[in-house]
Amino acid sequence: MLFGRGKKNPIKIANKGVEKWVYTTCGYCSTGCSIEVGVNDEGKPVSTRGVGSADVNRGKLCVKGIFEHEIFDAKGRGEEPLVRDRITEDYRETTWDEALDKAGSEIQRIQEKYGRDSFAIVSTGQLLTEEFYTLGKLSRAVIGTNNYDGNTTLCMASAVSGYKRSFGSDGPPGCYEDFEQTDCLIAFGSNLPEQHPIIYWRMREAREKRNFPLIVVDPRVTMLAQNADMHLAITPGTDVVLLNALMHVMLDEGLEDRDYINEHTNGIEAVEKVVADYDPVSASKICGIDEDTIRNVARLYAKADAAMSIWTMGINQSTHGSDGVVGINNLNLMTGNIGKPGGTSLSITGQCNAMGTREWSSCSGLPGYRTLENPAEREEIAKFWGIDPEFLPKRRGLTETDIFPAIETGQIKGLWLVATNPMTSMPNTVRIRKTLEKLECLIVQDSYRDVETTQYAHVFFPAATWAEKEGVFTNTERRVNIVRQVTEPHANSRSDLWIFNQMAKRFPQGAKVKFPEKPSDVFDEMAYLSRGRLVDISGMNHELIEQKRGIQWPYRADDVEAQTQGDPRLYEKGGFQHADGKAKLIPLPYIENNEVPDNDFPLWLNSGRVVEHFHTRTKTGKVGNCNKFSPTPYMEINPDAAEELGIEHMSYVRVVSRRGDAVVLAQLTQRVPRNMVFIPFHYHDCVNRLTKGLLDPHSRQPAFKQGAVRIEHVNQEEAARLNVEMREF
């Protein structure tokens, strides 16, 4: 029987009463999708849609972006400033003045008693760039602590470190358009469909048109691996061995680009010497990839006209994270694949504005990729801010991962956390809990009152979220895009920019430094400071950025007249940021230094993301249309391993490491090998109770992805009851 078209029920799009659409940029991941939020006649955000004219997403959004208008009124938002003298007491609601006075006087009391660096500040990758710049000015020029960092140390520090070592500066050299030009793509530890769905869509669309080979290096059969031509199921933590072996084959068979190497790099001799030891036969015994596959991949990559590499946390969150990034850069420098269409080393960043903090927050130095170690740059910035250059430290202080141990040893007595939730995101959270209890003063500034870390705070600042404010984000491909204010800040919360500006007034040094109040004025200050630098944004302003739906840096004043969209690539003609203008090829001898499975803890523990959740679920845990897909902490386990252990599908188990334990639902799947389990990292009191987090020596980023665990049985009823309580987020 045939059904005529007219007999079908037509799809109806709900009329949500949208009165106007406001342009903004998604506040979740670093893809940087342009979004319009629909607002009804009462000014309430009621809908979200992708922007068709924006090059990044071309009208598309993922499940998180589609429901982003629901985060404004989510439960658990901070409403009023809160204070208390001891963490055993209840909080008391107070005025902004009293909360800011208390925070300001506590910071000064601690600094006077124990020294300026005894008070630390840790921020995030989710503020607006103008806010990052202002927090940097406040931390460096007014409060004057050198123990100031961002939680990007947990996700991007290895990429930053690797870029600096290879190219002389941070700054991803490629762009999404490279997918449309490449002839071969290797994805190292990057599960694009779940982590960055719209970048995946761009890559997939390009591949459908030109069918270039996709090689995925990942210990797990991720969604991306399922779509790959070749899946290299590598032994965790051994990427450097594979990279050395690939270079060994290229050099052995004369597949390297000698002209590019001679013209644009230094150090080939030292690399040749080290990779000589990594013949495919020897390397395969360490990294678990057979010798023929190593040879085939090396030939495929080196012979492609243009080849590119992307990576995410599988490389960065390792004790060899920085070396892994340098290894990828070596591979691309050796084959002449930097700064050319389709040839690049592109780190896919995590948080929506991880790039903005890297560029402008002064966490690892001074604004605009300046360093504290460079006297001329210290002088330039001190003069611009109106302070004595001697007030600035002469080298970078502690990273987030070193700040917590410094609290344990008593070196740090006070901490200000801005939009970060270490009680869920740091490794070994059992230890972090004890660490936070030692602080004389903890200030938590967050959009959500119910983040776990507020349990240990003395002052809570309720902050406005995402499009309750105005400013810019930079995405993975260096595109600066604007977040326009869609609605007023929730209850009595205030923008982070306002909070930083008010805090500056509590310090004597604050009177010397100018703090513009309007985000567009702050942007203009950054644009001025960027002139002539790699991260040049001097041709941009808020209006132009919105008009062009985002602009890639560098974008100089001349570019405005030339009507460009910014430079899509860095280093097209070389011009690396090391003093001689050349990139460095760096030898990478591999030293095994991870926790590995043994008799007591026989399984690898791997962790990562799922598409419906973002980071510590502070936002997506409250959006029903996201949370419903995975409300419960779970673990992927191979069916053969499960059978051996007597574990049934969808039963509760206890996962135990040397640090702690976590109860999760077992999900039987062939996605993980027999000797590994995988747990999404989003849940509180879950995978990071187990992780050890040994640190990369260069970047200080923790190795979240290499640990050892065992599985134990639990009482199902008890576990289910605990789990229901956990779901009541």
Q: What one-character-per-residue DSSP string does 564-633 give?
A: ----S-S-TT---SSTTS-EE---------S----SSS-EEEEEE--TT--TTSTTGGG-HHHHTT--S-
Choose one: 12-20, 60-68, 164-172, 244-252; the region binding ligand SF4 (CB under 6 A): 60-68
Residue of 23, 51, 55, 65 that binds ligand SF4 (CB under 6 A): 65
Cβ neighbours, 10 Å, residue 289: 23
Question: How many residues at the interface with ligand SF4, by CB under 6 A?
Answer: 14
Q: Letter for the amino acid at 636?
A: E
Binding status of residue 31 toward ligand SF4 by CB under 6 A? yes
Residue 486 Cα to chain centre, angstroms: 25
Cα 187 to Cα 311: distance, rounded to the nearest angstrom: 6
Q: Is 29 in the site for ligand SF4 (CB under 6 A)?
A: yes
26 binds ligand SF4 (CB under 6 A): yes
| Closest CB to ligand SF4 among residues 24, 319 | 24
Q: Residue 28, interface with ligand SF4 (CB under 6 A)?
A: yes
Select from 58-66, 203-211, 449-457, 556-564 the region that touches ligand SF4 (CB under 6 A). Answer: 58-66
Q: List the one residue from 37, 51, 62, 247 that touches ligand SF4 (CB under 6 A).
A: 62
The window from 59-67, 152-160, 373-381, 500-508 that contacts ligand SF4 (CB under 6 A) reads: 59-67
Using CB under 6 A as the binding rule, whether residue 33 contacts ligand SF4 is answered as yes
Neighbours of 288 (CB within 10 A): 17
How many C-beta atoms surround the C-beta of residue 485 within 10 A?
17
Q: Which is nearer to ligand SF4, 31 or 158 (CB)?
A: 31
Closer Cβ to ligand SF4, 227 or 411, answer by number? 227
The least distance separating ligand SF4 from the CB of residue 196, rounded to whole angstroms, comes to 6
- Residue 64 within binding range of ligand SF4, rule CB under 6 A: yes
Q: In this structure, what are the phi and psi dihedrals at residue 611, rounded to the nearest 5 degrees?
A: -65, -35
- Distance of closest approach, residue 152 Cβ to ligand SF4, in angstroms: 17
**Closest separation between CB of residue 560 and ligand SF4, Å?**
26
- 459 within 8 A of 443, measured Cβ to Cβ: yes
Give the number of other CB atoms < 10 A from CB of residue 96: 16
For 463, the 3-state DSSP assignment is strand
Question: Using omega within 30 degrees of 0 as the cis cutoff, is the peptide bond preceding 554 cis?
Answer: yes
Tell me how far, at minimum, the Cβ of 537 lies from ligand SF4, in Å: 21
Q: Which stretch binds ligand SF4 (CB under 6 A): 102-110, 195-203, 319-327, 647-655?
A: 195-203
Query: Which of 180-188, 196-204, 565-573, 582-590 is the region at the interface with ligand SF4 (rule: CB under 6 A)?
Result: 196-204
Q: Which among 196, 199, 157 has a CA at the least distance from the CA of 174?
A: 199
Question: Residue 643 and residue 655: Cα distance in Å, rounded?
Answer: 16
- CA-nearest of 348, 570, 439 to 147 is 439
**Phi/psi of residue 512, nearest 5 degrees:** -80, -20
Q: Which is nearer to ligand SF4, 199 or 366 (CB)?
A: 199
* Shortest distance in whole angstroms from residue 210 CB to ligand SF4: 23
Binding ligand SF4 (rule: CB under 6 A), the pick from 38, 172, 173, 197 is 197
| Region binding ligand SF4 by CB under 6 A among candidate stretches 194-202, 492-500, 655-663, 695-703 | 194-202
- Strand ranges, E, within 106-213: 119-123, 148-150, 184-188
Q: Which residues of the shown chain bind ligand SF4 in the complex (CB under 6 A)?
A: 26, 28-29, 31-33, 57, 61-62, 64-65, 196-198
